[in-house]
Amino acid sequence: MPKVTEEHRLARRQQIVAAARLCVVEQGFHKTTMADVIRESGMSAGAVYGYFKSKEEIVAAIAEEALSTVDELFEKILATEEPLTPLAALEAALNHIVAVAERPGGDVTRVAIQAWAEALRNPAIKATAQGKYIQVRAHFEAVARRAQADGTVDASVDPHYIAQVLFGFLPGFILQRLLIGDVSPDTYTAGLRALLQP
Amino acid sequence: MPKVTEEHRLARRQQIVAAARLCVVEQGFHKTTMADVIRESGMSAGAVYGYFKSKEEIVAAIAEEALSTVDELFEKILATEEPLTPLAALEAALNHIVAVAERPGGDVTRVAIQAWAEALRNPAIKATAQGKYIQVRAHFEAVARRAQADGTVDASVDPHYIAQVLFGFLPGFILQRLLIGDVSPDTYTAGLRALLQP
């Protein structure tokens, strides 16, 4: 028998995560069972349970995958040689969200909204959401500090509070995009341009 | 037998809505059944079905009640004789959200988050959410037009886009308040003050 390589393991794991994402997007978190994920993945139950013990673990992996390029995104944002503005950072974040949402295999922002609701009563999902969002917010805090150093944002305000607001733009964009459908990074950036300090 | 007055009908209706809100806050939308609502309300099944035919109708009534004072809130915001700033409008909206959330009988922002998730697959809930949020956004569009007229916001930008962003601040605040717990109208207003045009 061939030895199972690490590459093979990762590909199998990703296959399960993709199957679970499709199930949650189509049926919602509650109606999705491990049996659905197993069927959709085309793998055996034993194989799937070898990677994930519960729906909660799979949802954490979906979040992990969705946010896997966030560090890179913020590296790019902070790499600008111009004075960094909150507008530029938010525009990049909005474009990134839409690019990730439009990847084939199910809009992961739909999974995010399911996770918000689930987090209210499921401590494992709440812990995952908290961890992920605190990580994204820390990136926005770095943006705030940089903007303060560059003189584009009032330096007397706690950058943690600024990060709350910058991060806080994103759920409202995600929600309007899915529930109302008339927002885009372009309309949002136009609105932001009118409101934010130049 | 005494005639059932309109006042009596309204009180009964409110009793059912309050019972349903408690159930959804405690168990989530999916696990809440009409039987739970009937038990919690202390009324008979026949009586409850005389007011509401489905969970969807009750959720619409919860949203209706939660947003019943929104018109009044924006009337107050627009009544200022000073030049109206987006910061002042958002600060008033954030304080209003927390005041409504902290009313006894279950935090209605928890019901809102449940409704966001449910709206993705339930057309009746989606229609309710759309209707309500388009209504709140229209109020923010009035704020944007007034701020443009007052010279506190760039008058060349479509006020509809500005309203998208102003409305879009609120879900991120609600979410951080419930999932992370470290935001308040004060921290958020401080962050907003650093970011928004003076």
Q: Is A188 near chain B, with CB under 8 Å?
A: yes
- The residue ranges of chain A whose pLDDT is under 70 are 1-3
User: Do residues B84 and B146 lie in contact, with contact meaning Cβ atoms separated by under 8 Å?
Assistant: yes
Which positions ≥6 away from B15 have C-beta within 8 Å? B41, B42, B43
| Whether residues B141 and B48 fall in one domain | no
Q: Which residue among B60, B79, B100 closes a domain?
A: B60
* Among the listed residues A58, A163, A157, the one whose alpha carbon sits nearest the alpha carbon of residue A114: A58
Interface of B with A in 46-65 (CB under 8 A): none
Burial label for B1, CB within 10 Å (0-12, 13-18, 19+), is exposed
pLDDT recorded at residue A161: 98
Cα B16 from chain centre: 18
Q: What's the half-sphere exposure (Cβ side, CA atoms, 13 Å) at A195?
A: 40
B47 domain-assigned: yes
pLDDT recorded at residue A4: 76
pLDDT recorded at residue B4: 76
Neighbouring-strand partners of residue B196: A196
| Whether residues B49 and B128 fall in one domain | no
> Count of domains in chain B?
2
User: Do residues B157 and A190 lie in contact, with contact meaning Cβ atoms separated by under 8 Å?
Assistant: yes
B107 domain-assigned: yes
pLDDT recorded at residue A171: 97
Q: What is the spatial distance between Cα A188 and Cα A165, in angstroms, rounded to a whole number?
A: 15
pLDDT recorded at residue B198: 79
B103 domain-assigned: yes
Q: How large is the average pLDDT for residues B180-193?
A: 97
Q: What is the spatial distance between Cα A8 and Cα A12, in angstroms, rounded to a whole number?
A: 6
- Can you list the alpha helix ranges (DSSP code H) found in chain B? 6-27, 34-41, 45-51, 55-66, 70-78, 86-101, 108-119, 123-150, 159-179, 185-195
Angle at Cα B79 formed by Cα B73 and Cα B83, nearest 5°? 115
B15: helix, coil or strand?
Answer: helix
| Whether residues B103 and B165 fall in one domain | yes
Tens digit of each residue's pLDDT (9 = 90 or more) over B96-145 = 999 999 999 899 999 999 999 999 999 999 999 999 999 999 999 999 99
Tens digit of each residue's pLDDT (9 = 90 or more) over B7-34 = 999 999 999 999 999 999 999 888 999 9
B46: helix, coil or strand?
Answer: helix
A165–B191 C-beta distance less than 8 A:
yes
| Whether residues B42 and B135 fall in one domain | no
A162–B188 C-beta distance less than 8 A:
no
Tens digit of each residue's pLDDT (9 = 90 or more) over B79-98 = 999 999 999 999 999 999 99
pLDDT recorded at residue A124: 93
A196: helix, coil or strand?
Answer: strand
A60 domain-assigned: no
Find the closest chain B residue to A126 by CA distance. B179
A1 domain-assigned: no
B45 domain-assigned: yes
A61 domain-assigned: no
Give B2's pLDDT tier (boundaries 50, 70, 90): low
| Whether residues B105 and B153 fall in one domain | yes
| Whether residues A116 and A159 fall in one domain | yes
| Whether residues A101 and A156 fall in one domain | yes
Residue, of B50 and B30, whose pLDDT is higher: B50
pLDDT recorded at residue A130: 96
- What CATH number is given to the structural domain containing B10? 1.10.10.60
B1 domain-assigned: no
| Whether residues B105 and B51 fall in one domain | no
A118–B117 C-beta distance less than 8 A:
yes
Q: Which residue among B38, B60, B82 closes a domain?
A: B60
pLDDT recorded at residue A34: 95
Q: Which of B161, B173, B192 sits opposite A187 (nearest CB)?
A: B161
- For residue B196, the chain A residues in CB contact (below 8 A) are 195-197
- What CATH number is given to the structural domain containing A99? 1.10.357
| Whether residues B119 and B191 fall in one domain | yes
pLDDT recorded at residue B197: 87
Cα B51 from chain centre: 22
A196–B197 C-beta distance less than 8 A:
yes
The domain of A16 spans 6-55
| Whether residues A40 and A77 fall in one domain | no
| Whether residues A32 and A91 fall in one domain | no
| Whether residues A113 and A183 fall in one domain | yes
